[in-house]
Amino acid sequence: MDPIDSPDPQSFYQYSLKGRLVMARKKTETQSKKEPAVKKTAAAAEEAPAEVKAAVKAAEPAEAAVEAAEPAEPAAPAKKKAPAAKKTAAKKAPAAKKTPAKKAAAKKSAPAEEAPAEAAAPEAPAVENSSAVEEVPTMQAIVPQPRRSVAFIGSECHPFVKTGGLGDVMYALPRVLASLNCDVRVILPRYACIPKKYQDLMVYRGEFYMDLGRTGRSYYVGIMEYVCDGVVYDFIDNEEFFSSGNPYVSLVDDIPKYCFFSKAALAALNYLDWIPDIVHCHDWQAALVPVYLRTLFQDTPVGRARSVLTIHNLRFQGIYNIPTIKYWSGLPDSVFNMGALKVGHEDANMLKGGLAYADRITTVSGTYAQEIQTSEYGETLENHLRYHSGKLRGIVNGIDYGMWNPKTDAAVAVHYDASDAIGKKRENKLALQEELGLVKDEGKFVIGLISRLTNQKGLDLVNAIVPQMMDGNTQIVVLGTGDRQYEDTFRYYEGAYSGMFSACIQYDEARAHRIYAAADALLVPSRFEPCGLTQLNAMHYGTLPIVRETGGLKDTVQPYNVFTGEGNGFTFDRYDAGLLLDAVNRAKTLYFTERERWDEVVLRDMAKDVSWENSAKQYRDLYLELTQW
Ligand code: ADP
Ligand code: GLC
């Protein structure tokens, strides 16, 4: 079965990638293919020091989480199989172990490929006077930008593993950067939950052993590689850390996991002899990378790289008590101060440390970059962020037009583009109503909600106004998983408004696409939203967003103006259920009383540029700015 038909959350699929995967496989077949070496490290043998175990216990966040984590008690890693690497940074394997592919890759990354700017400069047309300036193409347009190599390091990436927008960004941005003359490698954990079809495409690139923190042990680090569309994906393999079904389990497990991952990612770059100009890390899971870079790895080859840390969601920071983070990270005492990792009296905050050590900080919209410097949105890091505001900037996310295209989308019932969207969206609506057991009526106003069901997403507001929204002419379709209370409430509404309310409590990528194509409007009333991608997907599919004016929602959705007819969607400002209801009612009024004007907005939204084009250039320029050598 094509995974696109499958509701299995782990069945990720690709549209445009399908053909390319085959190509990639052909390419990699020429490389020496070893069986994926998932080395089972021997059974647990060494225990963490007693005080660290006590610290882990003391800081256990919630009983349920701890219970789940207990069997995988992190202080009991496997005994090393190979002699322990004495150096902190990974030792390279003996030269004989190098595969030919590895040598080629090392050559490819040589900085000699950069186009010397001075050499090209004389060819640029001279700008004689100011009136000519506008007609003359800019130097940037004429002179090819120098090539830069970038290692993306993060915890998820579509189509391998995705729980939210981070996975989309880790997929889309490297591909656009590759087209902008960047040499991009994406480093990810090789989770056991990555679908087999991708596991099968990975090629063994090598392995080494690495010490970790104060565990006194040496850990296996395997590197499995997959190349696609000019982007190299390197998966860090270690069964002990990455064998759970979901990337995120509980902090007790995740702290050691991402200490290991961050260190192993840098060690792998040294091992591969691929030294990037920029290391671009994402969220708290990779936030120790800039700290490692300036401490344990400073005097290793990768130490020359500059670092960028992107905040996708400030709510998650990786906080635990200092002894535990010291134990797993092995970072020197000097980083556990108030200017870097330390928070409060006894905790360490991995994201805070990364923000202190990164050469640049970005977040995923301009408004969120401002908001996080305030106490309302700063998640207790507002002072730290204000202190580092000189190196902070907001670059809004885009969406991948290959993955999100109603004209070619393999998941939707009926394809369409701007030329036939109005009629074809109605057909998609009927198909979705059929699929979900809703009353089949193209005249109903269908509101979609596709979201992680968490406190961030404004679901309290939605729940408060469902009865008022259900006026007999409105249908609501919810797709999401998350907190039990929200799941249960939506299930309740499905029962209460049978045939008019559908609660799909699941993660289903294909169904998400069908909802974007079929719905008239999409709700995104978030409490906070660093960027938000669902409103971008929706607009691109001609579905009008109803959003709260916060973060990236504010930056990407211009409110509809009844007087001028301008705008892309319906917005409200304060976090207030009444204001959300008002925005929904404004949308309904336009839909039911002035359909032609509604349809104009549909077409305008489909034409709106929500691609990565412009934002990827901003990242590329940031990399260039950081590497002016
Ligand atoms: P966040 O990263 O905070 O979850 P975003 O709006 O940035 O929010 O990204 C969410 C991404 O996850 C979008 O691509 C959206 O379509 C997808 N998504 C969210 N929930 C589901 C779900 N239940 N099934 C399928 N896709 C989902
Ligand atoms: C986060 C944010 C979301 C953003 C996504 C990708 O999960 O919650 O707003 O779009 O990351 O950057």
Whether 85 and 210 have beta carbons less than 8 Å apart is answered as: yes
Residues 134 and 163 in one domain: no
pLDDT classification of 552: cutoffs 50, 70, 90? very high
Centre of ligand 2 from the C-alpha of residue 338, in Å = 27
Nearest-CA neighbor of 181 among 223, 148, 216?
148
Is the CB–ligand 1 distance for residue 509 below 6 Å? yes
Is the CB–ligand 1 distance for residue 169 below 6 Å? no
pLDDT of residue 145: 76
Of 26-35, 154-163, 218-227, 296-305, least confident by mean pLDDT is 26-35
Nearest CA, atom 5, ligand 2: 165
* pTM to 2 decimal places: 0.81
What HEC string does 192-236 produce? CCCCHHHHCCCEEEEEEEEECCCCCCEEEEEEEEEEECCEEEEEE
Task: Give the three-class secondary structure for 321.
Answer: strand
Residues 330 and 458 in one domain: no
Is the CB–ligand 2 distance for residue 315 below 6 Å? no
Query: Among all ligands shown, which has an atom nearest to the Cα of 453?
Result: 1
Give me the phi and psi of 333, to 5 degrees please: -55, -30
pLDDT of residue 628: 86
Look at residue 323 and tell me if it is in a domain.
Answer: yes
Residues 474 and 529 in one domain: yes
Look at residue 411 and tell me if it is in a domain.
Answer: no
Is the CB–ligand 1 distance for residue 480 below 6 Å? yes
Both tokens assigned to 20: 């390319």
Residues 314 and 451 in one domain: no
Residues 502 and 532 in one domain: yes
Domain count within the chain: 3
Residues 139 and 156 in one domain: no
The whole-angstrom separation of Cα 611 and Cα 531 is 14
| Residue 82 Cα to chain centre, angstroms | 35
Mutation test residue for ligand 1: of 450, 454, 527, the one with most atoms within 8 Å of CB: 450
Residues 333 and 392 in one domain: yes
pLDDT classification of 98: cutoffs 50, 70, 90? very low
Look at residue 99 and tell me if it is in a domain.
Answer: no
Residues 390 and 281 in one domain: yes
pLDDT classification of 144: cutoffs 50, 70, 90? low
Query: Could you say which of 381, 397, 413 is where a domain stops?
Result: 397
pLDDT of residue 83: 34
Query: Helices 613-626 and 165-179, interaxial angle, to 10°?
Result: 70
Range of the domain at 500: 421-611
Taking 70 as the threshold, does the pLDDT of residue 19 lie above it?
A: no
Q: Which atom of ligand 2 is nearest to the CA of 551?
A: 9
| pLDDT tens column, 597-619 | 999 999 999 999 999 999 999 99
> What percent of the chain shows pLDDT beyond 70?
77
Residues 436 and 486 in one domain: yes
pLDDT classification of 140: cutoffs 50, 70, 90? low
Residues 169 and 318 in one domain: yes
pLDDT of residue 220: 98
Of 51-65, 205-219, 392-406, least confident by mean pLDDT is 51-65
Taking 60 as the threshold, does the pLDDT of residue 380 lie above it?
A: yes
Mean pLDDT of 359-384: 98
pLDDT classification of 246: cutoffs 50, 70, 90? confident
Average pLDDT, the chain: 83
Residues 455 and 510 in one domain: yes
Centre of ligand 1 from the C-alpha of residue 534, in Å = 6
Taking 70 as the threshold, does the pLDDT of residue 88 lie above it?
A: no
Look at residue 100 and tell me if it is in a domain.
Answer: no
Mean pLDDT of 47-64: 37
The whole-angstrom separation of Cα 63 and Cα 221 is 32
The whole-angstrom separation of Cα 533 and Cα 312 is 11
Centre of ligand 2 from the C-alpha of residue 50, in Å = 38
Residues 306 and 171 in one domain: yes
Is the CB–ligand 2 distance for residue 157 below 6 Å? no
| Residue 91 Cα to chain centre, angstroms | 30
The whole-angstrom separation of Cα 242 and Cα 258 is 10
Nearest-CA neighbor of 534 among 510, 559, 516?
516
What is the chain's length?
629
Is the CB–ligand 2 distance for residue 165 below 6 Å? yes
* Domain harbouring 523, CATH code: 3.40.50.2000
pLDDT of residue 138: 54
Taking 90 as the threshold, does the pLDDT of residue 4 lie above it?
A: no
Mean pLDDT of 461-478: 98
pLDDT of residue 281: 98
Look at residue 341 and tell me if it is in a domain.
Answer: yes
Query: Could you say which of 397, 413, 433 is where a domain stops?
Result: 397
Whether 153 and 281 have beta carbons less than 8 Å apart is answered as: yes
Whether 146 and 624 have beta carbons less than 8 Å apart is answered as: yes
pLDDT classification of 629: cutoffs 50, 70, 90? low
Centre of ligand 2 from the C-alpha of residue 167, in Å = 9
| pLDDT tens column, 384-443 | 999 999 999 999 999 999 999 999 999 999 999 999 999 999 999 999 999 999 999 999
| pLDDT tens column, 274-329 | 999 999 999 999 999 999 999 999 999 999 999 999 999 999 999 999 999 999 99
pLDDT of residue 279: 98
Taking 80 as the threshold, does the pLDDT of residue 348 lie above it?
A: yes
Look at residue 89 and tell me if it is in a domain.
Answer: no
